[in-house]
Amino acid sequence: KNQVEQSPQSLIILEGKNCTLQCNYTVSPFSNLRWYKQDTGRGPVSLTIMTFSENTKSNGRYTATLDADTKQSSLHITASQLSDSASYICVVSDRGSTLGRLYFGRGTQLTVWP
Amino acid sequence: EADIYQTPRYLVIGTGKKITLECSQTMGHDKMYWYQQDPGMELHLIHYSYGVNSTEKGDLSSESTVSRIRTEHFPLTLESARPSHTSQYLCASSDPGLAESSYNEQFFGPGTRLTVL
């Protein structure tokens, strides 16, 4: 069964601190993995995308890693800001369907305190 | 920023009412999707479309229906709303593109928060 598991479920950090969010998946055949940021009451917005051959991708203070062998990914946030408070969702796409089916994790709810 | 719009953003209605959630995109994307999301839960695909006059049901069973008469427009309709339909509904669109990294890139609208009393 194709699944995406994220941890922790929620996280509280102080402004300026770093944090790392984890994602494990069992989706096969694998196509790509994305991290989305979803602000409360809004739609998800893509932060990074990685294919099988990529093991790291950065977008400003966000750095994602991918280990396709162990089927694990992480999202590292550096020097957190209050605006980083949001849900971060790991999304894996399979290669096996013309639809391009996406498998969503439940997200990690990040709260940044001043 | 993606050009995909949803209206209304918030809707509170009584049981038994017929409602239509609007979704429009100006990117010319062929594929469009409707997702349902409850708080703290993952997004569930309820409908999708490959293009005009193409609609399919998704993974999660839904009493809603959709239509795709124009490329840019993908409305979702509930004929008789019930409290169990209370949820956030997200519309998305995608275009395969030429590069593998852009394949299946889905752009999401802001969502409609539906509450049925």
B1-56 pLDDT, tens digit each? 558 999 999 999 999 999 999 999 998 898 999 999 998 899 999 999 989 999 99
Mean pLDDT of B71-89: 95
Minimum Cα–Cα distance from B108: chain A residue: A43
Do you find a cis peptide bond into B75, omega within 30 degrees of 0? Answer: no
Give the end-to-end CA distance of chain B in Å, rounded to a whole number.
34
Which pLDDT score is estimated for A34?
A: 93
Q: B32, B49 in Cβ contact below 8 A?
A: yes
Q: A44, B107 in Cβ contact below 8 A?
A: no
pLDDT, tens digit, for every residue of B48-76? 998 999 999 988 878 899 999 999 999 99
CB contact under 8 A, B90 and A44: yes
CB contact under 8 A, B40 and A99: no
Phi, psi of B85 (to 5 degrees): -85, -5
Asked if B57 has any chain A CB less than 8 Å from its own CB, the reply is no
CB contact under 8 A, B104 and A45: no
Structure confidence at residue B95 as a pLDDT band (50, 70, 90): confident
